[in-house]
Structure 1
Amino acid sequence: MQKSKAEADGAPKADGGAVRVIKKYPNRRLYDTDSSSYITLAEVKTLVMSNERFVVRDAKSNDDLTRSILLQIILEEETAGVPIFTEQVLANIIRFYGHSMQDFMGSYLEKNVQMFMDLQHKMSEQTDGLNPDVWKQFTNAKSPLMQGMMGTYMEQSRTAFTQMQEQMQKNSEQMLSAMGIKR
């Protein structure tokens, strides 16, 4: 069996295969080494939506540009239609940069988004094959099933926040102890 160019580049995948490698050239074009063709941001978004593992590398320096490409996709989505983030949410996120809570905020957001994705997946499984009228009733915020699922999500979110607070307290106590200050 012949190796793809991405496999030849040696980017390991968690399942033993190779992570798809996309190279970004100075002319801002993206080259998919798997398909040996140039692709658009919309096609990168399709890879994200299909849970395809990939990395975007600068063609010259080999720097990892994956985060900046993902942020570009988010920016396009936010400006193209109905945004997810309000101005207030974006401003609050910006305020965490450089703040001592930055690391905690990142992990808190990551856990919450993952819990929400898990909730969405669970809902999708439970409603597979429902007709539009039943789906509308199911997603009604006042339905007992939806309230139960959202209650579970909120409890998980509260637990994640509590864990974050406990970690912060532990870190503060360690820092104070290292400085010879006891609480």
Structure 2
Amino acid sequence: MRIIEKYKNRKLYDTNMKKFITLNDVANFVKEGETVKIIDSLGNDITQEIFLKARIKGKIFCSLKKEMIERLIQGFIKIFKGNTDDFIEILLDLVNQGVLPADIAKELGNAVIKHFNEFEENMKKDIIELIKSTGFVSKEEYDKLKEEYEALKKKCEN
């Protein structure tokens, strides 16, 4: 199995050949029937995401006009602002104009939305952990602590 590491600077490193490679190299490995696993800097398996990028780069971007690429980028920006409907509409427009094959649009849409949802969930967890680390507690914990305080206060007064 060929292991490829993706660095934060987006470079791909082939651990077998001990050198940096491109998306085209990844596509060629797959075409040649090699088993490939791609991991990010945290050790997460991102093979499908990179395969999708390799397919898109090879099949689509070479034939897209500048304005279509700009619309696709605008779609990505909109999805990160939480508007998946506009992103999907842009993908459908690209399919209807014959610029983007439907299967690639579907793969791209599903992958981007999946990664956005995972990013959003991780962000929520990080925010909750940050708030907890500052000493804040949930409303339920606060109410429980208040009850305990009131009970201790009554005890002390008696």
TM-score (norm 2): 0.41
Task: Give the structure with higher Rg (CA).
Answer: 2
Higher relative contact order (CA 8 A, sep 6+): 2
TM-score (norm 1): 0.36
Which structure shows the higher helix fraction?
Answer: 2
